[in-house]
Amino acid sequence: MLGRIGLAEVYNPSMLPTLRPGDRLVLRYGVPVRPGHVVVVRHPFQHDLLIVKRVVGRRAGGWWVRGDNPRVCNDSREFGVVPDELVVARAVLRLRPPARAQRSPGAAAGWALSAVRPLSRRLRAR
């Protein structure tokens, strides 16, 4: 089963350099997650707030998630594990919007080559 598919937009810099504010994510709902996956989760203390993080590992009670940006700690270091029921979806593709000032064909071609990227399962060193 493929699972349901959706879109989300990145709004803050917690996943830099992997994701930038303004990037769009193609999401798959109802699929398993593993360490290294980028996921959308409900914030454990504010269930109406959706956040994008990378799964680091399994812990008692849920998933340990971190942002890729070491300067932002709005992740499991702040709020602990994320229970399974708060994991909303797994991000599978990043869609980067075009820069506003792309005037040359070379700039447009460069954007086209980097605009769509699969989100790898690579783990970041901590």
Q: What is the pLDDT of residues 32-83, one digit of tens each?
A: 999 999 999 999 999 999 999 999 999 999 999 999 999 998 999 999 999 9
Tokens of 32: 């398993």
Reported pTM: 0.83
Tokens of 71: 């300067």
d(CA 126, CA 31): 26
- The fraction of the chain above a pLDDT of 90, given in percent, is 72
Q: What is the pLDDT of residues 79-113, one digit of tens each?
A: 999 999 999 999 999 998 876 665 677 777 776 66
pLDDT value at residue 125: 40
Whether residue 21 has a cis bond before it, omega within 30° of 0: no
What are the structural domains, with CATH classification, of the chain?
4-118 (2.10.109.10)
Q: Is the distance from CB of 76 to CB of 65 less than 8 angstroms?
A: yes
Chain center to CA of 21? 11
Measured CA angle at 86 (ends 82, 90), to 5 deg: 95
pLDDT value at residue 86: 98
pLDDT value at residue 59: 96
Burial 43-54 (b: 16+ CB within 10 A, else e): bbeeeeeebbbb
